[in-house]
């Protein structure tokens, strides 16, 4: 299988190396707006390279395409890969704006080309166990959930203005995984944010730390926090609190917390420094699943409509933060649901 990959920054170079290590993948061909960077990454990792995006997209020998460019460059690329009929893995969020995400949902669903969006937590063992625990009823009635995404260090300054903001860029992972774990949709949100770090967040209209309260359709309450300044380590967790039992995702030796209690030595570390360390196994499983999607063996385990739902929650949070009021998801535009069944309805599931 030959995979084209556009955008070899932090996550793109990492995904390229993961893909190249998979048995199903014979060749990875990369390109980037920065052609020199693409050549360097290709040389470092022993990958094939094209001089620009047009040359990569013009190839007729690609079995799948991976889009890991900056957020603002993804919508146009996704339109082009779907028009060319190439099964595509696209990092989250699929586009920088809600109208574009809605438009892409309609395009992808009517084209019937499989598109798998990069919410890797769906492949993380802990989140999957939490999902099973909710579905099996072993937690009893779930009353509250705490979800968090705390980065150890901020991204580079140039990343922030094109990121879509902390809710669309970071918390969107929590919004997706809350839907995945609970099977519920978000009904309302109340959100706020603050800046106590680098000035470039505020200059981009963004915040470096944010909090949201979500009410799910079944009245479960969720708190979701995100910060770019978790100096103690990359900290991504979820607690699901039920009437019978509760489970925690990410409560292991690498937990980026120190106990304030006397004599408690847990956790023993080392902590994770970034998302690549925290989710290494999940990224491998996710891209393995994408190869199955591209080969037509399974349906997309995370569709553009899933991505749209998480994006709508992020959008509602931005409105809530800006206007200082609770926002109902019903206020946020959605994509019409097509009558035609999805082309992959008969395929198996990767999750």
Ligand X SMILES: NC(=O)c1ccc[n+]([C@@H]2O[C@H](COP(=O)([O-])OP(=O)(O)OC[C@H]3O[C@@H](n4cnc5c(N)ncnc54)[C@H](O)[C@@H]3O)[C@@H](O)[C@H]2O)c1
* Chain positions contacting ligand X, by CB under 6 A: 6-12, 32-34, 37, 53, 68-71, 73, 91-92, 118, 120, 159, 169, 275
CA 70 to centroid of chain Cα atoms: 14
Nearer to ligand X, 168 or 305 (CB): 168
Nearer to ligand X, 198 or 221 (CB): 198
Q: In angstroms, what is the minimal distance from the CB of 60 to ligand X?
A: 20
Q: How far is the CB of 15 from ligand X (least distance, A)?
A: 9
How far is 134 from 128, CA to CA, in rounded Å?
10
Alpha carbon 50 to chain centroid, angstroms: 27
Report in angstroms how near the CB of residue 283 gets to ligand X at its nearest. 8
Please state at what angle helix 304-323 crosses helix 98-111, rounded to 10 degrees: 170
> Which residue number, 68 or 209, has a Cβ lying nearer to ligand X?
68
Buried b (16+ CB within 10 A) or exposed e, 65-81: bbbbbbbebbbebbbbb
* Least distance from ligand X to the Cβ atom of residue 262, Å: 37
313 with 291: CB under 8 angstroms?
A: no
CA dist 174 → 58, 144, 236, 323 (Å): 36, 14, 9, 22
Q: How far is the CB of 266 from ligand X (least distance, A)?
A: 27
- Which of helix, strand or coil describes residue 157? helix
Tell me if residue 16 falls in helix, strand or coil.
helix
Q: How far is the CB of 12 from ligand X (least distance, A)?
A: 5
Q: How far is the CB of 215 from ligand X (least distance, A)?
A: 26
User: Among residues 220 and 309, whose Cβ is nearest to ligand X?
Assistant: 309
Q: Hey, what are 8's tokens?
A: 């070899």
Q: Which C-beta is closer to ligand X: that of 188 or that of 225? A: 225
- C-beta closer to ligand X: residue 89 or 332: 89
Closer CB to ligand X, 133 or 238, in the complex: 238
Q: Transcribe 34-95 into DSSP letters.
A: SHHHHHHHHHHHT-EE-SSHHHHHH-S--SEEEE-S-GGGHHHHHHHHHHTT--EEEPSSSS
242 vs 161: CA distance, rounded Å: 39
**Considering beta carbons, is residue 176 or 220 the nearer one to ligand X?**
176
CA distance linking residue 350 with residue 250, whole number of Å: 22
Residue of minimal Cβ distance to ligand X: 9
- The nearest distance, CB 230 to ligand X, in angstroms, is 15
């Amino acid at each position: 299988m030959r995979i084209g990959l556009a955008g070899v920054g932090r996550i793109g170079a990492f995904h390229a190396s993961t893909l190249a290590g998979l048995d199903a993948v014979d060749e990875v061909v990369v390109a980037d707006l920065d052609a020199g960077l693409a050549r360097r990454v290709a040389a470092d990792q022993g990958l094939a390279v094209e001089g620009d995006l047009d040359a990569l997209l013009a190839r007729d020998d690609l079995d799948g395409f991976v889009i890991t460019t900056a957020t603002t460059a993804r919508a146009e690329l996704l339109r082009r890969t779907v028009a060319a009929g190439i099964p595509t893995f696209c990092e989250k969020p699929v586009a920088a704006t809600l109208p574009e995400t809605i438009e892409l949902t309609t395009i992808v669903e009517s084209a019937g080309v499989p598109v798998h969006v990069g919410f890797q937590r769906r492949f993380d063992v802990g989140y999957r166990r939490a999902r099973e625990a909710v579905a099996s009823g072993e937690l009893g009635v779930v009353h509250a959930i705490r979800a968090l995404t705390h980065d150890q260090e901020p991204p580079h300054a140039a990343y922030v203005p094109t990121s879509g903001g902390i809710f669309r860029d970071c918390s969107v992972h929590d919004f997706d995984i809350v839907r995945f774990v609970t099977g519920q949709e978000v009904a309302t949100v109340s959100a706020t944010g603050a800046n106590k770090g680098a000035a470039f967040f505020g200059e981009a209209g963004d915040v470096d730390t944010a909090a949201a309260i979500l009410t799910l359709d079944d009245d479960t309450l969720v708190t979701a926090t995100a910060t770019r300044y978790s100096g103690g380590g990359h900290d991504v967790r979820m607690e699901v609190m039920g009437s019978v039992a509760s489970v925690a995702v990410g409560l292991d030796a690498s937990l980026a917390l120190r106990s304030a209690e006397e004599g408690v030595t847990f956790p023993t570390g080392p902590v994770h420094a970034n998302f690549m360390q925290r989710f290494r196994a999940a990224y491998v499983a996710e891209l393995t699943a994408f190869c199955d999607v591209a080969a037509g063996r399974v349906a997309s385990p995370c569709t553009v409509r899933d991505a749209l739902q998480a994006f709508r929650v992020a959008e509602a949070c931005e409105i809530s933060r800006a206007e200082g009021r609770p926002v109902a998801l019903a206020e946020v535009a959605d994509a019409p649901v097509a009558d035609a069944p999805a082309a992959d309805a008969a395929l198996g599931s990767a999750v």
